[in-house]
Amino acid sequence: MNSPFLTLVSEKMYLKRYAKRTVQTYCYWIKAFINFNNKQHPVTCHDAEVELFLSFLANQKQVTPKTQALVLNALVFLYREVLQTPLTLELNFNKTSIQPKLPVVLTHEEVTSLLSNISAAVSLPCKLLYGSGLRLMEVVRLRVQDIDFDYLSLQIWHGKGGKHRRVTLAKELIEPLKKQIAVASSYYQQDKDNADYRGVWLPYALAKKYPSAPMEFNWHYLFPAQKLSIDPESKYLRRHHIGEQKIQRTIRAVSKRLGFVKDVTCHTLRHSFATHLLQSGADIRTVQEQLGHSDLRTTQIYTHVLQQGANSVCSPLDKLKLSETNR
């Protein structure tokens, strides 16, 4: 990061245990705020400039409500934690009116077709996206010890919002997961013989609390990268997890090759997991817990694709017997 000020912001966030992606996102929007104000230092700006920037994002950039809220959170952090001049609680700005998109959901047949045509290299991660309703980063960040074969579940640590949860594991994936653990073990045995290898990266202060953990196999990633790399923070030689880009590209390419009209992404499999659970009769609270949603209203959006129609309402047209006379 070239800017000393943004470096200061990122360091402050890391000290408060913010996730790397959150740090990058906050710094991106703080930089955008600085550029919007003709590169004035934020210390010379405050409520009025923040209100203008948020209104600009809603009016000119037409960002989603979620993005606008994220930008507000970034600026609140900046002024409260870094500059120590908190913003007012009564900011007056134009809130974006753009409605969030409804989730794209695949049918059971489409999921079957998609997963059957995914290459072996990323087949298991894709099946976990659908089979356990995981977010993409939750899949690639899985560690060996997160797999609980006894209770057929996965432990998700520090998910979105820093929350932990336990999710279901499909029986069909037991053997593929055991084979993947064997693959990860072969990388681990190879790395142990490398004198420069410093073990796997651990979040926050765990490496200090458990000094031997970075070299223990159970802490290593379930889906290790093919090559060792230098940790940009510690400068240690480590083996990171696989990149998410390959999975993203594969799903898009396969869905396009199969002729899907729907815009299919990794998150589409998570949407399909939730909708299919509800369709099979699962309680919405259970689905909420599986997905890790804080607000039940976020989960309720999936009810729109149930077979009976929006919110399980059966259309009265289905009960009419109309003759097809208007051909």
Residue 160 parent element (H or E)? none
Backbone angles phi, psi at 188, to 5 degrees: -65, -45
What does the alpha-carbon distance between residue 127 and residue 145 come to, in Å, rounded to a whole number? 19
Residue 230 sits at φ, ψ, to 5 deg, of: -90, 125
Catalytic residue among 31, 158, 160, 252: 160
Chain centroid offset of residue 276 CA:
20
Amino acid sitting at position 204: Y
Whether 241 is a known active-site residue: answer no
Find the catalytic residue in 127, 130, 135, 188: 135
Through-space distance between the first and last CA atoms of the chain, rounded to whole angstroms: 65
Three-state DSSP at 232 gives coil
Annotation marks residue 17 as catalytic: no
Decide if 135 is catalytic. yes
Confirm if 262 and 272 have CB atoms less than 8 A apart: no
> Given 127, 238, 241, 293, which residue is catalytic?
293
Query: Is 79 an annotated catalytic residue?
Result: no
CA 266 to chain centre: 10
Query: Is residue 92 helix, strand or coil?
Result: coil
Q: Is there a catalytic annotation at residue 267?
A: yes
Which residues, 6 or more positions from 163, have their beta carbon under 8 angstroms from its beta carbon?
292, 294
Residues 6+ apart with CB under 8 A from 34: 40, 41, 42
The catalytically annotated residue of 158, 165, 267, 304 is 267
Catalytic residue among 141, 238, 270, 271: 270
Q: Tell me the DSSP string of 20-45.
A: HHHHHHHHHHHHHHHHHTTT--GGG-
Just list the catalytic residues: 135, 160, 267, 270, 293, 302
